[in-house]
Amino acid sequence: MPIDDITQKVSERYAKAASTGEQMCCPTSYDMGHLKTFIPEEVLTISYGCGTPAGLKTVQAGETVLDIGSGGGIDCFEASRLVGPTGHVIGIDMTDTMLEIARINAAVVAANLGYPASNVEFRKGLADAMPVDDGTIDLIISNCVINLAPDKRKVFQEMYRVAKPGGRFTISDIVSDHIVPQYLVHNTQKWGDCLSGALTLTDYMNGMTAAGFLGIHLVKFSPWRVIDGIHFFSVTLTGYKLPQTTTTPSMFHATLRGPFSRVVVEEGTTYQRGIPQPITSEEILLLSTPPFAGHFLLTAKPVALGSDDPRWTAVFPADAPCTWQGHYALLAGPFVEATDDDHHVYRRGEPLEICSKTVAVLETNSYAPHFVILNRAGDQTSGEAVTCAPNGGCC
**Spans of the chain below 50 pLDDT:** 1, 3, 6, 9-11, 13-23, 390, 392
Give the residue from 271, 288, 314 where a domain finishes. Answer: 314
Query: Do 296 and 202 fall into the same domain?
Result: no
Nearest to 217 by CA among 291, 307, 108: 291
Residues whose CB is less than 8 angstroms from the CB of residue 359 and which lie 6 or more positions away in sequence, other chains included: 325, 327, 329, 373
Q: Which pLDDT score is estimated for 246?
A: 66
* Cis peptide leading into residue 334 (ω within 30°): yes
CA distances (Å), origin 250, targets 69, 215, 267, 275, 301: 42, 21, 21, 19, 10
Q: Which pLDDT score is estimated for 183?
A: 82
Query: Do 259 and 228 fall into the same domain?
Result: no
Which residues sit opposite 354 in a β-bridge?
Answer: 327
pLDDT in tens, 68-96: 999 999 999 999 999 999 999 999 999 99
Query: Do 157 and 273 fall into the same domain?
Result: no
Q: Which pLDDT score is estimated for 46?
A: 78
How many CB atoms are located within 10 Å of the residue 111 CB?
Answer: 13
Residue 303 burial (C-beta neighbours within 10 Å; 0-12, 13-18, 19+): middle
Residue numbers of the domain that contains 101:
3-240
Query: Do 299 and 327 fall into the same domain?
Result: no
Query: Do 305 and 372 fall into the same domain?
Result: no
12 by DSSP, 3-state: which? helix
Query: Do 61 and 95 fall into the same domain?
Result: yes
Q: Which pLDDT score is estimated for 16?
A: 47
Query: Do 117 and 195 fall into the same domain?
Result: yes
Q: Which pLDDT score is estimated for 32?
A: 83
Q: Rounded distance, CA 211 to CA 159, Å?
A: 8
Query: Do 75 and 98 fall into the same domain?
Result: yes
Nearest to 142 by CA among 67, 65, 54: 67
Query: Do 183 and 72 fall into the same domain?
Result: yes
Query: Do 223 and 270 fall into the same domain?
Result: no
Q: Which pLDDT score is estimated for 182?
A: 84
Q: Which pLDDT score is estimated for 382?
A: 62
Q: How many domains does the chain divide into?
A: 3
Q: Which pLDDT score is estimated for 219?
A: 93
Nearest to 143 by CA among 237, 240, 31: 237
Q: Which pLDDT score is estimated for 195?
A: 75
Query: Do 94 and 150 fall into the same domain?
Result: yes
